[in-house]
Homo-oligomer: A and B are copies of this chain.
Amino acid sequence: MATYDFSIETLGKAKIPSPIHMSDKDGDGFADYVSDDDKILYCIDTVTTEDGHRVPKSEETVELAGPRQKIYFNPSHVHAAIATCGGICPGLNNVIRAIVRCLWYRYGVRRISGIRFGYQGLLPTSKEPPLELDPDVVDDIQEKGGTILGSARGGGKQTADIVDTLERMNVNILFTIGGDGTLRGAHAIHEEIKARGLKISVVGVPKTIDNDLAFIQTSFGFDTAVSSAVPVVRSAHIEAKNAINGIGLVKVMGRESGFIAAHTSLAQSDVNFCLIPENPFDLYGDKGLLPLLKKRLNSRGHAVILVAEGAGQDLIPKTGETDASGNTKYSDIGLFLKEEIIKYFKEQDMTINIKYIDPSYIIRSAPADSYDSIYCARLGANAVHAAMAGKTDVLTSMINDRFINLPIKLAISSRSRVNTESALWRDVLENTRQPDSMKN
Contact = CB atoms under 8 A, between A and B. Distances in A.
Given A32-B421, A56-B41, A436-B23, A145 B223 contact: no
A329 interface: no
A206 interface: no
Interface string A380-402: 01000000000000000000111
Interface string A245-263: 0000000000000000001
Nearest to A402: B44
Residue of A106, A269, A437 ringed by the most chain B CB atoms within 10 A? A269
Interface in A84-107: 88, 97, 101-102, 105-106
A168 interface: no
B427 A377 contact: yes
Contact of A243 (B150, B241, B400): B150
A398 to B, nearest CB: 9
Contacts of A223: 370-371
Interface of A: 21-23, 25-26, 31-32, 34, 37-41, 44-46, 48, 53-56, 59, 61, 66-67, 88, 97, 101-102, 105-106, 117, 120, 139, 142-147, 150-152, 217, 223, 226-227, 230-232, 234-236, 238-239, 241-244, 263-264, 266-269, 355, 357, 359, 361-362, 364-366, 369-371, 373-374, 377-378, 381, 400-403, 420-423, 426-427, 430-431, 433, 436-437
A430 B106 CA distance: 7
Given A361-B357, A370-B226, A101 B150 contact: no
B403 A239 contact: no
B54 A45 contact: no
B61 A46 contact: yes
A47 to B, nearest CB: 9
Contacts of A152: 243-244
Copies of this chain assembled into the complex = 4
A355 B358 CA distance: 12
B227 A25 contact: no
Contact of A244 (B142, B147, B150): B150
A139 B61 CA distance: 45
A139 B140 CA distance: 14
A427 B381 contact: yes
B244 A117 contact: yes
A345 to B, nearest CB: 16
B146 A242 contact: yes
A267 B370 contact: yes
A239 B101 contact: no
Contact of A236 (B67, B361, B370): B361
Contact of A374 (B44, B101, B263, B400): B263
Given A263-B374, A381-B430, 7 more contacts: A39-B46, A54-B61, A66-B423, A101-B431, A152-B244, A230-B370, A235-B362
